[in-house]
Amino acid sequence: MRRTWWIALLILVLVLGALAAFLLIPRFRRPTAAAPAAPASRADLDEQDVPPLPHLGLNINTQEDLEVLQGTPLLFTLSVANPRAANAQATNEGRERFLALIQDKVAKGEITAAAAQPALERARQKREIKVVRLGTGDQGWETFVHFEIQTEGSQPRPLDWPVKLVTAPPAKSLTLDAASNAHLDYALDPQAAAQVPAGDFVVAAVLDVPAGGNLPAELWRGRVRSGPVKLKILPAPAELSPEEQSKMSLEKAEFFAATGDWPNALASAQAVLVANPKVIRALIIVGEAKEAQGDLAGARDSYAAAEGQFYKQFPNSYEAPEFLILKIASLEERLKKQPAPVKH
Cα(10)–Cα(8) distance, integer angstroms: 5
Rounded to an integer, what is the distance from CA 40 to the centroid of its chain?
Answer: 32
**What pLDDT, on the 0 to 100 scale, is given for residue 337?**
87
Do residues 162 and 248 share a domain?
A: no
Rounded to an integer, what is the distance from CA 342 to the centroid of its chain?
Answer: 48
Is 2 among the domain residues? no
Specify the DSSP class assigned to residue 145. Answer: E
Do residues 226 and 78 share a domain?
A: yes
Do residues 231 and 158 share a domain?
A: yes
Nearest CA-CA partner of 281 in 297, 260, 305: 305
Do residues 58 and 45 share a domain?
A: no
Cα(109)–Cα(286) distance, integer angstroms: 64
pLDDT digits (tens, 9 = 90+) for 13-28: 333 444 343 333 333 3
Does the pLDDT of residue 44 top 60, yes or no?
no
pLDDT digits (tens, 9 = 90+) for 133-149: 999 988 999 999 999 99
Do residues 94 and 228 share a domain?
A: no
Do residues 184 and 253 share a domain?
A: no
Do residues 199 and 265 share a domain?
A: no
What CATH number did the domain enclosing 264 receive? 1.25.40.10
Is 344 among the domain residues? no
Phi, psi of 18 (to 5 degrees): -65, -40
Do residues 102 and 122 share a domain?
A: yes
Is 339 among the domain residues? no
DSSP characters over 279-323: -HHHHHHHHHHHHHTT-HHHHHHHHHHHHHHHHHH-TT-SS--HH
Domain range for 263 is 238-334
Q: Which CA distances in Å does 161 have to 194, 195, 256, 295?
A: 11, 9, 19, 36
Do residues 138 and 221 share a domain?
A: yes
Cα(281)–Cα(61) distance, integer angstroms: 14
Taking the CA atoms of 57, 58, 63 and 66 in sequence, report the sign of the dihedral they define.
negative
Does the pLDDT of residue 1 top 90, yes or no?
no
Q: Using CB atoms within 10 Å of the CB of residue 229, give its burial: 0 to 12 exposed, 13 to 18 middle, 19+ buried.
A: buried
Nearest CA-CA partner of 246 in 257, 254, 238, 258: 254
**What pLDDT, on the 0 to 100 scale, is given for residue 262?**
97
| Total structural domains within the chain | 3
**What pLDDT, on the 0 to 100 scale, is given for residue 47?**
54
Phi, psi of 273 (to 5 degrees): -70, -25
Is 11 among the domain residues? no
Does the pLDDT of residue 264 top 60, yes or no?
yes
**What pLDDT, on the 0 to 100 scale, is given for residue 39?**
44
Is 10 among the domain residues? no
What CATH number did the domain enclosing 172 receive? 2.60.40.10
**What pLDDT, on the 0 to 100 scale, is given for residue 188?**
96
Which of residues 103, 129, 155 is at a domain's end? 129
Is 186 among the domain residues? yes
Is 217 among the domain residues? yes
- Decide: 218 and 133 in contact? Cβ < 8 Å: yes
What H or E segment, with its residue span, contains residue 81? strand 74-81
Which of residues 70, 101, 129 is at a domain's end? 129
| Residues above pLDDT 70, as percent of the chain | 85
Do residues 323 and 228 share a domain?
A: no
Which of residues 185, 209, 236 is at a domain's end? 236
Do residues 61 and 99 share a domain?
A: no
Do residues 186 and 118 share a domain?
A: no
Is 12 among the domain residues? no
